[in-house]
Amino acid sequence: MRAIVLLNKRGLTLVEVMIALVVLLLVSLALMQTALLSIDSNMKNALRDEAVRIAAMRMEEARTLEFTQTADRLVDDTGSLAGADCPPDFPATGVLVARDVRSVSGFDFCTNMDVWGIDADTRRVIITVGWKWKDEPYTHAISTVMRKTT
């Protein structure tokens, strides 16, 4: 039996090797596409997490503003976002926040604080954060109700 195996010198043909390489190439391309989608999804999640942190930071800033007897300092954002790469339907006023996210340095997030008077002592504060990733717009918004303390 051993002598028969040693005498068989057929091996693989060039066609069989090329078919194996094509199959290996197709599997590799599929795995590379999966890896690219995974990297893009991770970046979207990292940007969303940073937007949540920015919204929380802006909300804490709003909570430090106090109502006064003569005037309310808790008001809408008045800064201009002209020239910023904000989502299309984002308000024109607000604050531009630049953050380093993974390998992207100075990534711009557009933020807007909108204050609605419910009554003389109560305000609803809405913080909206907007950004664009690969020309696709994203937004995240949080809101709270604040009352004047006496």
Which pTM was predicted? 0.76
* 65 or 143, greater pLDDT: 143
Cβ atoms within 10 Å, residue 145: 10
Return d(Cα 53, Cα 57) in angstroms, integer: 6
Q: Which residues pair with 146 in a beta bridge?
A: 123
Average pLDDT over residues 95-100: 92
- Average pLDDT score over the chain: 86
The DSSP H or E segment spanning 52 is helix 14-64
User: For 8-30, what is each residue's pLDDT tens digit?
Assistant: 667 778 888 899 999 999 999 99
Q: Which residue type is seen at 36?
A: L
User: For 128-144, what is each residue's pLDDT tens digit?
Assistant: 999 999 999 999 999 99
The DSSP H or E segment spanning 102 is none
Strands (E), 16-103: 95-101
pLDDT over 90 percentage in the chain? 51
Give the least confident one: 33-37, 49-53, 75-79: 75-79
Return d(Cα 43, Cα 110) in angstroms, integer: 18
Residue spans per domain, the chain: 2-147
